[in-house]
Amino acid sequence: MKTSTVAWHELKSRLARIYDFHSAAGLLIWDQQTNMPPGGVPARAEALATLSTVAHEHLVDDETRCLLDTIGDDFDATTEDAALVRLVRRDYERATKLPVRLVADFSRATTLAEPAWVAARARSDWAAFAPHLERILTLQQEAAEYIGYTTHPYDALLDTFEPGATKLELETVFDELKTPLIALVARINDAQTSAENEKRDAPLYGDFDEAKQEAFGREIVERFGYDFRRGRQDRAVHPFCISFGNGDVRITTRFDREWLSPALFGTLHESGHALYEQGIDSKYARTPAANGCSMGVHESQSRLWENIVGRSLPFWQFFYPRLQAAFPEHFSGIELARFYRAINTVERTPIRVEADEVTYNLHVLVRFEIEVALFENRLKVADLPAAWNEKMRDYLGITPATDAEGALQDIHWANGSFAYFPTYTVGNVLAVQLYDTALATHPSITDEITRGEFATLHGWLAENIYRHGKRYEPAPLIERATGKPLNTAPYLRYLHTKFGELYDLKTTTLTG
Ligand code: ZN
C-alpha cells in the first residue's frame, strides 16, 4: 500500500510526462503553422494524433485513478497542492466520462467538417455545411449529457473554456451590455453620417515596409515586458501565441504591406497572451496549472494590451513620433489626433474579426444566442442563416450580403467549439475591470504610459493574474484581483467615455 506522499510524487511525475507530450505536440503545431512545407500535412497529422493519444492514455490510465484515490482529500483546500489535485481530478473525470466511441465519432465529424466548411464558405453554400453542423451538434449535445451539468447542457461545454461559468451568468452579462451597446453603435453611426465624408481609417492604409513594421512592433512589446530571451516572433497566416513553459512562449504575426493594422494590433494582442504565459510562477512548471486560467481571462490580457493600452491616446503620445520616424513619407503630414481617430474607427461591418471595440460584443451576442437556441432545439440548423441575418439587422443594423459574410464566417462550429464565443466578451469586460483596478491602485500608470513605460501595470498584472496560472478558477481569481465578481459597469463606462469623446457625442448616457 502506497503512502499518500509516495502517491503524490508519482502523480506529479505522471503529470510532468503528460505535460511533455502536450508540449511536443504543441511544437509540432507551431512548426506546422510557421515553417512546415505543405507536403508535411499527412505525416504531421499522424504524429499529432499519436502524441495526443499517448497523452490521453496517460491521463485516463487506471493508475491515475489509483494515485488520486490514495492521495484522497487530505489536503488543506487553500494550498497549491490541493489546487493541483482539483485540476487533475477535473481533467481525469472529463476525459473518462466520454465513451471512446463518442470521442472517435467527434474527431471524425470535425475532421470532415473543417474542409467542408472551407469549401462551403468559398461558395457561400450553407446547405453544403449544414449536415456537418447537425452531426457535430448532436454529438456535442450527447457529450453534454455524459459530462453532466446542473441547470443547462450548454454549461457542460462552457466549462471546458471557462471553468465554473454558466449560461445564466453569461445571459446576465449580455443583458447588461445589449441595450447600451446597440444604442451607442446607433448614435456613433448617426454622428458619422452627419459629419463630412471623411474616411476615418484612411491613415492606416499605404505602403509599409514589413521589416520596419516588425521592428516597430518589437520595440513596443519589449517595452511592455515581453522577454525575447524567453520568446520569439515568427510569421503565420492565422496569428497565435503558444507556450512551452514560462521559458519559451512564442508569438506569431501576419504582415500586410498595404495595411498597418493586422501586424501592429495583432502583435500587441498576441504579446498580451504571451506576457501572461511568461509570468506564470515556475513552481507550476510541467503541471496542469502551468497555463492561463481560462479562455476569457486569457483574452482579457490580450485585449488589455491591444485595446485599452494600445489604442489609447497616452500610448500614442509616446509612440506616434516613433511611428512617424519609421514611416515619414506616410505619417509626417498626419497629426496625432487624426491617427488616434483612425485606429478607433467604429464601423458596422459583417465580419467579427474585423470588428472594433464597440461593435465586437454584438457580433459575439449573435453567436451566443444562436448557440443556446440550437442547444435548446429551438432553432434548426437549416434556419440558422435566417436567424443570423435577423439578429445582425436588429443589433448592428446591417444584413450580410452572403452567408460567407454571415453564418459561415467562423471556423469555431466546424471544429466543434460550441460555447467558445462568449469567452471573447468575458475577456473584453474583464480587461477594463482589471485595468481600472490597477489604475486605482497605481494612478501613475497613465503618466508612465505617456513615457513608454509599462513596468507598474505589468507588475500589477503579474502579481494579481499571471503568476497564479490555473491555480484559481476564473471567479475567485477575478474576485481576488478586483474585489468584485465580473462586472460590466467599468466596461460600459469606458466605452461611453472613450467613444463619446472620439465621436463628439453631446450627451453620454451612462447605463449599467
Ligand atoms: Zn486572443
What is the distance in A from the centroid of ligand 1 to the CA of 14?
30
- Quick check: 65 and 92 in contact, CB under 8 A? yes
What is the distance in A from the centroid of ligand 1 to the CA of 236?
15
What's the total number of domains in the chain? Answer: 2
Rounded CA separation 314/452 (Å):
9
Residue 197 is predicted with a pLDDT of: 46
Rounded CA separation 183/308 (Å):
21
pLDDT tens per residue, range 158-167: 999 999 999 9
Asked if residue 76 and residue 201 are part of one domain, the reply reads no
Which residue from 501, 512, 510 is spatially nearest to 191, judged by alpha carbons? 501
DSSP structure class, residue 412 = T
Asked if residue 313 and residue 228 are part of one domain, the reply reads yes
What is the distance in A from the centroid of ligand 1 to the CA of 372?
23
What is the distance in A from the centroid of ligand 1 to the CA of 252?
12
**Residue 315 domain boundaries:** 167-502
Rounded CA separation 308/386 (Å):
35
Residue 73 is predicted with a pLDDT of: 79
In a domain, 145, yes or no: no
Asked if residue 177 and residue 116 are part of one domain, the reply reads no
Asked if residue 174 and residue 110 are part of one domain, the reply reads no
> In the predicted model, what is the mean pLDDT of residues 130-157?
96
Please state the separation of Cα 42 from the chain's center in Å.
Answer: 28
Asked if residue 362 and residue 310 are part of one domain, the reply reads yes
Torsion sign (Cα): 11, 16, 17, 23: positive
Could you tell me whether strands 231-235 and 249-253 are parallel, antiparallel, or unpaired per DSSP bridges?
A: parallel
Torsion sign (Cα): 486, 490, 493, 497: negative
pLDDT surpasses 60 at 32: yes
Mean pLDDT (the chain) is 94
Could you tell me whether strands 241-243 and 249-253 are parallel, antiparallel, or unpaired per DSSP bridges?
A: antiparallel
Helices 384-396, 126-147: inter-axial angle, 10-degree rounding? 90
Asked if residue 214 and residue 299 are part of one domain, the reply reads yes
What is the distance in A from the centroid of ligand 1 to the CA of 299?
5
Beta-bridge partner residues of 232: 250
What is the distance in A from the centroid of ligand 1 to the CA of 241?
8
pLDDT tens per residue, range 453-489: 999 999 999 999 999 999 999 999 999 999 999 999 9
Which residue from 107, 94, 87 is spatially nearest to 156, judged by alpha carbons? 94
Higher pLDDT, 48 or 248: 248
> In the predicted model, what is the mean pLDDT of residues 348-362?
95
Asked if residue 400 and residue 341 are part of one domain, the reply reads yes
In a domain, 93, yes or no: yes
pLDDT tens per residue, range 297-307: 999 999 999 99
What is the distance in A from the centroid of ligand 1 to the CA of 177?
21
Rounded CA separation 251/260 (Å):
18
Please state the separation of Cα 313 from the chain's center in Å.
Answer: 24
DSSP structure class, residue 306 = I
Rounded CA separation 495/296 (Å):
19
Asked if residue 349 and residue 215 are part of one domain, the reply reads yes
pLDDT tens per residue, range 161-199: 999 999 999 999 999 999 999 999 999 998 876 554 468
Asked if residue 462 and residue 388 are part of one domain, the reply reads yes
What is the distance in A from the centroid of ligand 1 to the CA of 417?
15
CATH of the domain at 365: 1.10.1370.30
In a domain, 140, yes or no: no
Residue 193 is predicted with a pLDDT of: 66
Asked if residue 404 and residue 348 are part of one domain, the reply reads yes
In a domain, 150, yes or no: no
DSSP structure class, residue 234 = E
pLDDT surpasses 50 at 295: yes
Last residue of a domain, one of 92, 123, 154: 123
- Quick check: 263 and 254 in contact, CB under 8 A? yes
Least confident of 43-57, 115-129, 307-321: 43-57
- Quick check: 459 and 147 in contact, CB under 8 A? no
> In the predicted model, what is the mean pLDDT of residues 358-363?
98
> In the predicted model, what is the mean pLDDT of residues 484-499?
97
In a domain, 68, yes or no: yes
Rounded alpha-carbon distances, angstroms, from residue 168 to 50, 84, 294, 368: 38, 28, 18, 12
pLDDT tens per residue, range 75-89: 777 788 899 999 999
Rounded CA separation 384/452 (Å):
47
Helices (H), 279-332: 295-303, 313-326, 328-331
- Quick check: 290 and 87 in contact, CB under 8 A? no
What is the distance in A from the centroid of ligand 1 to the CA of 249?
14
Beta-bridge partner residues of 242: 250
Last residue of a domain, one of 88, 106, 123: 123
What is the distance in A from the centroid of ligand 1 to the CA of 239?
9
In a domain, 129, yes or no: no
What is the distance in A from the centroid of ligand 1 to the CA of 110?
22
What is the distance in A from the centroid of ligand 1 to the CA of 422?
13
Assess whether 80 carries a catalytic annotation.
no
Contacts of 127 (CB under 8 A, 6+ apart): 382
In a domain, 310, yes or no: yes
Asked if residue 106 and residue 171 are part of one domain, the reply reads no
Look at the pTM and tell me if it is higher than 0.85.
Answer: yes
- Quick check: 480 and 498 in contact, CB under 8 A? no
What is the distance in A from the centroid of ligand 1 to the CA of 237?
15
Rounded CA separation 88/15 (Å):
8
Residue 208 is predicted with a pLDDT of: 98
Rounded CA separation 166/150 (Å):
9
pLDDT surpasses 80 at 506: no
Helices 360-375, 126-147: inter-axial angle, 10-degree rounding? 70
Contacts of 130 (CB under 8 A, 6+ apart): 381, 382, 384
> In the predicted model, what is the mean pLDDT of residues 378-388?
98
What is the distance in A from the centroid of ligand 1 to the CA of 304?
11
Question: Quick one: what percent of the chain has pLDDT higher than 90?
Answer: 87
Rounded CA separation 222/436 (Å):
23
- Quick check: 482 and 437 in contact, CB under 8 A? yes
Residue 76 is predicted with a pLDDT of: 76
pLDDT tens per residue, range 224-261: 999 999 999 999 988 999 999 999 999 999 999 999 99
What is the distance in A from the centroid of ligand 1 to the CA of 276?
12
Catalytic-role residue among 169, 270, 306, 357: 270
Last residue of a domain, one of 91, 123, 155: 123
Helices (H), 148-225: 153-161, 167-194, 210-224
In a domain, 507, yes or no: no
Which residue from 410, 397, 409 is spatially nearest to 348, judged by alpha carbons? 397
Asked if residue 247 and residue 341 are part of one domain, the reply reads yes
